A and B are shown apart, each in its own frame.
Chain A
């Protein structure tokens, strides 16, 4: 069985400060891990994915995440938040052999204050 736990339902930061969105996973199989972003009234967009290659994954818009097997974590970070980063972020897990089966976390809402 697989699952993800997003440790914070809401995160608030000031523009220009670092962003940290936390995610822990559970997987019976070697996992693939993803972060998706959902802006209001828009479709989910893939930010980045880990598929058993490099453990530090760089994504779009300056985001990156590090796969830590020992901690079963895949936290999302960005050095400097921008107002346009305000959105809902989902951590997602799937078996590495079948990324058709995506299991989504409950989401973290990121607010960015000027």
Chain B
């Protein structure tokens, strides 16, 4: 079974440019998460989806960040415009809501963003 797929794996952009990250969760997983991992830190949740609905976006900086999961499967996270402080690894994870309350989150390899 394929794991969580993310693309691109690496992205280098100049500040003020837009950037988008894509995630394909494990088949059948209806819960999808986006995390940001700064250098030397643990991941921090940005947004959580249950199917198409964003049920927790309290940590998403909404002035420049947006996300969507239109058909309840793939998801895209966008930053516009990017700032130097956005350099980080962006992780996507998915889980099966039917396994609650102990639903394991399965993580993708992440996208490493460098903003110059």
Contacts and interface: CB of A to CB of B under 8 A. Distances in A.
Interface of A: 32, 36, 41-46, 49, 51, 90, 92, 96-102, 104-107
A101 B102 contact: no
A37 to B, nearest CB: 11
Interface stretch (B14-22, B66-74, B103-111): B103-111
Given A41-B109, A100-B95, A106-B42, 7 more contacts: A41-B9, A43-B109, A44-B43, A46-B105, A92-B42, A107-B41, A107-B42
B4 A43 contact: yes
A99 B44 CA distance: 14
Interface of B: 3-4, 9, 31, 33, 40-45, 48, 56, 91, 93, 95, 100-110
Contacts of A49: 102, 104
A100 B91 contact: no
B91 A43 contact: yes
| Chain B interface mostly | loop
B93 to A, nearest CB: 8
B45 A98 contact: no
A93 to B, nearest CB: 11
B110 A43 contact: yes
Contacts of A99: 100-105
A30 to B, nearest CB: 11
Given A43-B110, A107-B40, A100 B31 contact: yes
A47 to B, nearest CB: 11
Identify which of A90, A97, A100, A107 gathers the most chain B CB atoms within 10 Å of its CB: A100
Contacts of A101: 45, 56
A109 B18 CA distance: 33
Nearest to B105: A102
A107 to B, nearest CB: 6
B106 to A, nearest CB: 8
A106 B91 contact: no
Contacts of B42: 90, 92, 104-107
Given A44-B43, A100-B31, A106-B40, A32 B107 contact: no
